[in-house]
Amino acid sequence: MRLLERYPRENGREYALRVIKNNIIRLELAPGSRVSEKNLADEMGLSRTPVREALIELARGGIVEIYPQRGSVVSLIDYSLVEEARFMRGVMENAVIKLVCEMASPADILKLGENLKLQEFYLDSADNGRLMELDDEFHKLLFDIAQKSRSYLLMQNLTLHFDRVRNMALSAVKELKIVQDHQAIVEAVRRHDAAEAGALMETHLSRYRIDEEAIRRKYDAKFFK
C-alpha cells in the first residue's frame, strides 16, 4: 500500500480515509480485493477505530463493501456508478468553467498555464501518477478561481468511481487527450468564451465512454461488474 505524509492537525480518521481513497484510485487496493482493518491500521500506524470509520464512510459511497464478521472488499467497477459520478461532476464543472470565464485574471491564467507545462512534461515521461495529480490540481485551480473551493472538496469525495476509471485510462489509452483538452479549455477561458469552454469540458469529462473498450482490454475482466 502507498502511504502518504500526514498533514498537520489531520486526525486519524481523515488520514485513513485519504490514504485508503488514494490507494483505491491508484488500484493499489484493486477492485475485488479484500481489505483488513488490522492490516491497514498497522501499515498506517493507527488504531483500528479510525480505519473502521474510514471504511464505513467509503461504504456509504459504494466504493467499499463491508461484510460483518468477514471483513471488507473493494467494490468492482460498475459503469452505471461511473456514469452517475461523471454526471454529477459534469453538472458542477460546467457551471464552474462558466464562472471561470468571467472571473479569471491574467495571473489565474498564468497559473493554469504553468500547470499545463508540467502536464506536458509528465505526459512525455509517462509518469502516470504525477500526471493524474496534475490533472486533479488543474481542476482544483478552476474551482479556486471560481471561488468554489469547498464544492471541489465535496465533489472529490463523491467521484471515486469515476476517478478509478480515469486512472486506468492513463495506462490503457495510447493517445491520451487529457493535456490537449486542458489546453483547449484554457484557451477558451482566455477568450472568455463560456459556451466553448462548457462544451470542451463536457467532451473532456465524457472521454471515459470512448476509452471503455481500451480500459476493459487492458485490465483484468474480474475488476468489472
Q: Where are the domains of the chain?
A: 12-74, 79-223
Residue 157 confidence (pLDDT) = 82
CATH number of 79-223: 1.20.120.530
Cα distances (angstroms) measured from residue 101 to each of 98, 110, 113, 118, 144? 5, 14, 15, 22, 13
Whether the full predicted model's pTM is greater than 0.85, yes or no, is yes
CB contact set of 213 (below 8 Å; sequence gap of 6+): none
CA-nearest of 159, 161, 176, 160 to 211 is 176
Q: What is the residue-level pLDDT of the chain in tens, covering all 225 positions?
A: 999 999 999 999 999 999 999 999 999 999 999 999 999 999 999 999 999 999 999 999 999 999 988 889 999 999 999 999 999 999 999 999 999 999 999 999 999 999 999 999 999 888 899 999 999 999 999 999 999 999 999 998 889 999 999 999 999 998 899 999 999 999 999 999 999 999 999 999 999 999 999 999 999 999 999
Q: Which CATH architecture has domain 12-74?
A: Orthogonal Bundle (1.10)
Residue 200 and residue 181: Cα distance in Å, rounded?
Answer: 7
Residue 77 and residue 165: Cα distance in Å, rounded?
Answer: 8
